[in-house]
Structures are given as structure tokens and as C-alpha cells.
Structure 1
Amino acid sequence: MAGTTMIRAVRPHIQSTTRRIPSTISSNIQRRSYHEKVIDHYERPRNVGSMAKNDTDVGTGLVGAPACGDVMKLQIRVDPDTQRISDVKFKTFGCGSAIASSSYLTELVQGMTLEEAARIRNTEIAKELCLPPVKLHCSMLAEDAIKSAISNYYVTNPTHKPTSLAGTAAPMPKIENVATA
């Protein structure tokens, strides 16, 4: 076309680059985010697995946290004569803190009576694993899971005496108001 100038738009070629972070650096970042006890239970979880839920000596607890999507299944096998937890298994779908809380709980309750296991509080689990406040819901899930498993065991075995799932807390001490003269 005579008299017209064609302008060709030239786009600079931008090369997209993806930086790969060496695995040693990424593992160091991960290690700074979680306490080494959490990492230990996450990398080497104890007592992972399932039991036949139809066994009469098995109690199954299934709990979840809608806010984060963590789901925890905990199963206990109870010796009917002693009412002690003879075996425990878990499957958890969630973050490292949720898996670590489940794994630690299985070690904690092994050999306990149902009464003793019902007294476990999430604060014990959180303290042992050094969980930050933002991850306390993971230890709460573990507490709920053991209580749910114990409750399910008693539903399956109505002839056994149920445990108070609230535990047995000591009464609050009375504080006297001492006025200084």
C-alpha cells in the first residue's frame, strides 16, 4: 500500500524461568517451620494402619476439622478383661502437625486403661510436640479421636462400664481473699 507505513509490534521475548530450590535448602525451610518432634513423627509415623471395624474388641473414632480439611481415623483394640488398650492404629489425611499428633497419641495410649486414655488432653499433645498456637486444632483432633474411639467401643460393647470421657479433674482450689491492713 503506497503512502502507508506498516508498524509491526515487536514484543520482547520474555523467557520464563523457574528457579529450583535445592533439596537441602527446602528441607531446611521445612525444618524451621516444624519442631523436630513433629518432623520425626511425620517422617516416621508410628502405628499407621487399620483394624477390622467389625471386631467387637475394636473402637473406631473418625473426626475431622472442616476449617482445614484434616481427617483423623483412630482405632483401638481393647483387652476385654483388663480394659487396657492392647493395640492402636491410625490413618490421618492432613498436615504434618495432624499426622504427628495422631502418631504421638498412638504411642501415648498404648497399654493405658480406657479411663486413663479418656483423660488425655490436647494440651499434653501440643506441649510434647511443641505445636504453635495456629496448629492447636491438630492436637484437638487427636483428643477428639481417642474419645470417639472409646465411645464407639462402649457402643459396641454395652456390657462394659463406660468411662467418663470428661476425665476426672480435681476440683478448683478455693482462694481466700486476704486483705492487708
Structure 2
Amino acid sequence: MLDNLDRLDDHFVSPRNAGVLLQANAVGSFGTLRWGDSVKLMLRIDRRTNRVDRAQFQAFGCSAAIAAASATTEMLSGKKLDDAAAISAADIADYLGGLPAERMYCAVMSYEALQRAIVAYRGGTVLQKTDATPSCKCLGVSQMMIERTIRFNRLTSMEQVTQHTKAAGSCSSCFKQIEGLLARVNAEMVEDGLIEKRDAYQLGSTPQRALDLKPRGEPQPGTNIFSAKIAPAHLRATPRPEPARAAPTATTTLELDAPTQATLIAEALDELRPHLKRDGGDCELVSIEGNIVYVRLSGNCVGCQLSSVTLSGVQAKLADKIGRPLRVVPVS
């Protein structure tokens, strides 16, 4: 029997059911590059029995995000759709033998992707307008997502809300709004008998010093990690062949001078580094030689089983920034 840590590591090192499911008839995604992690669940549901015949996933993020998505696909196998819909984020975490408190959002992420897949299969609307309105603008976390996570997981502190949703984890701009949301939902949960009154969050319970230590930031535009422009190569759909085009003439080809290209590459890496640092890794620019960019991975990125995923993401980011493909090579 694997202990808790071994089970989590096992699903990360040897993820089950990873890859694209071409015959999927239910697909749900959650997360963005701005959020820091993303998962896409693809289900093949037998319409005669209403059971999940097969489940596969694609994920971009930390080891816990990959492990949670892997575990979710195993939990779904053979389940009736109603039973699959009843799987909670806590169930996913329990299946892995538990998750570190600061990684609980990974189970929530797979739960959200699962719910979107099921709603899409049943022909419903995945996101209502109110659900798309972000309460945490830095990370693009919606009010409805925060509220249902509080209810389903019976959260009673701002720290727990951040651990499960990342909301208010980047800066202090949205803290007061989310604090008010937590207090309101907890009061409703007390009325419904879900929590004790003594456990409900009260406005002002978080020390002001903890709030003062948070930076104030401006929100960055969100990006779908599975979009063609930003997704690593292994996450992109196979492009359809395009009709032959005439070769571009010298007057239509834009060539960047070396200093400009170097500046754009440095800017692209600076935009990616906060996401890597959030999971204990980093990626630094070493040198540029023509179309080859040499980088140095450090921290948790060194020796990581998915370092190739990180490099693919860096390569896609640079190509998007420069406007043409570049090769990214790691150096020690």
C-alpha cells in the first residue's frame, strides 16, 4: 500500500490516462496561464449506459495539478454520469491520500473541469455571465467559483479560500471583496446547519499586518493555456494542412535586428518566470545564437519529470513574442 506522499508522487511520475482523447464527447477545461495552472478533461461517455467509458487529461502546472488530474480520470472510469458529477474536490484529494494545504486548488481545478465537461455533455451552458465576472482580477477567479468552493469544502478562513482557489493570493486589491463574500456565505451556511456559528468567518478576523504585507498589483490579461498560440507543442491540436502559398517576397518579410530580438526574448522569459517561481522553479536566459535560445533551469525545474513540458511552454511563448519559431536549449 502506497503512503500519502508515495501515492501523490506516483500519479505525478507515472500519470494515468494522459493525452488527447480523440473520441471524447464531453470536454471541460479550467485554468489559464494567468491562473498558473490548467487542466483539460476529455470523457467518452457511452450514451446507452450513461457511463464514463474512458477519461483522459492534459495538464499544465505543478506536480499536484498533474497528479490530481490523473487521479480524477481513474476515479471516473466506469462510473455513471450522476455518480461522476457527485465527485468533489475533497474526494479527489482523498484519493491521492491528501494534498498539502497550499495545493488544494489542484483538486478544485480538476473538479471544475469535470463539472464543465458534464454540463457540456448534457447540453447546458458551462459559464453564466455572473460566473465569468472575476472577483480576483489578478488571477481571474470568478465570484461564483469562489462561492461554491467555500460551500462545497466548508471553508471558514481567508487562508483556506486562497489555498483552494488562489483568490487574494497575488495582491491585496481584491481582499476586502472576497472577505465580504466569505463572511456572507459562512453566515448562510450557519443558517443551513452546515457549520457552527462559532466557526463562521467574521469581517476583520484577518490581521491587518497580513494584509499590509501583500503587494498591490494590476491584473494581467488571461490566456487559455490550450489555445494554439500559447500552448506547449504537446498540448496543441494537430493543425489542418493549409493550401500552398507563394513564398513571401523580401518586401513582406520582417526581420528583427539582434538587439530588438534579444529584448523581446528577455521580456517573454520575464513574463513566464513568476509562474515557474510559484512552484519553486525558475528559467534564466543564458545566451542567444541565431534561432537558438540557451536557458538555465533552476530550483524544482531541475530534474523535473516534466522539464520538457516547461521548455515547450517557453518555446511557445517566445515564438508568440517574436513571431517565428525558435529553439530553446537548456544548459547546466
TM-score normalised by the chain length of structure 2? 0.35
Q: Which one scores higher on RCO, CA 8 angstroms, separation ≥ 6?
A: 1
Structure 2 counterpart of 1:131, one-letter code:
L
Question: Structure 2 stretches of 5 or more lacking a match?
Answer: 125-147, 153-191, 195-332
Name the structure 2 match of 1:38: 8
Give the direction of change, closer, same or farther, for the CA distance of 1:65–1:123 in structure 2 (3 Å limit).
farther
Q: CA deviation at 1:64?
A: 0.5
Question: 1:66, CA displacement in angstroms?
Answer: 6.1
Partner of 1:7: none
Partner residue, 1:134: 102
Deviation at residue 122 of structure 1 after TM alignment: 0.5
SS in 2 for 1:99: helix
Which residue of the partner structure matches residue 104 of structure 1? 71
Partner of 2:330: none
Q: What's the counterpart of residue 182 of structure 2?
A: none
Q: CA deviation at 1:51?
A: 2.1
CA distance in 1, matches of 2:113, 2:56: 11
User: Which residue does 1:90 correspond to in 2?
Assistant: 57
Query: Contact 1:61 / 1:147 at 8 angstroms: preserved in 2?
Result: yes
CA deviation string 1:36-85 (max 9, x = no partner): 11110011100011123xx5x61000111666511101000000011000
Task: State whether residues 90 and 103 of structure 1, in contact with CA within 8 Å, keep that contact through their aligned partners in structure 2.
Answer: yes
Which aligned runs of 4 or more in structure 1 are off by greater than 2 angstroms?
Answer: 65-68
Aligned length: 125
- Which region of structure 1 is more displaced relative to structure 2, 101-110 or 65-74? 65-74
Q: CA offsets per residue over residues 139-181 of structure 1, 9 Å max, x none?
A: 001111111111111129xxxxxxxxx9xx9xx789xxxxxxx
Amino acid in the other structure paired with 1:69: G
Residue among 139, 144, 149 paired with 2:117:
149
Within-5 A mapping of 1:61-80: 61-64=28-31, 68-80=35-47
Q: SS of the residue aligned with 2:69?
A: helix
Please say if residues 65 and 141 of structure 1, whose CA atoms lie closer than 8 Å, have aligned partners that are also in contact: no
CA distance in 1, matches of 2:21, 2:109: 20
Q: Work out the CA distance in 2 between the residues paired with 1:65 and 1:125.
A: 21
Give structure 1 stretches of 5+ with no counterpart.
1-33, 157-165, 175-181
Same amino acid, percent of matched pairs: 33
Deviations along 1:107-137, one digit per CA (max 9) or x if unpaired, are 0010001100000010111123220110000
Report the residue type matching 1:145 in the other structure: A
Cα distance in 2, alignment partners of residues 102 and 77 from structure 1? 16
Contact 1:48–1:90, Cα closer than 8 Å, also in 2:
yes
Q: Distance in 1 between matches of 2:26 and 2:50?
A: 12
What code does the residue aligned with 1:59 have? Answer: A
Tell which structure's C-alpha radius of gyration is larger.
1
Query: 8 Å contact 1:84–1:111 — kept in the other structure?
Result: yes
Question: What RMSD, in angstroms, separates the aligned Cα atoms of the two structures?
Answer: 2.4
Q: Does 1:119 align with 2:89?
A: no
Partners of 1:127 and 1:47 in 2: how far apart?
19
1:49 aligns with 2:16: no
How far, CA to CA, are the matches of 1:101 and 1:141 in structure 2?
9
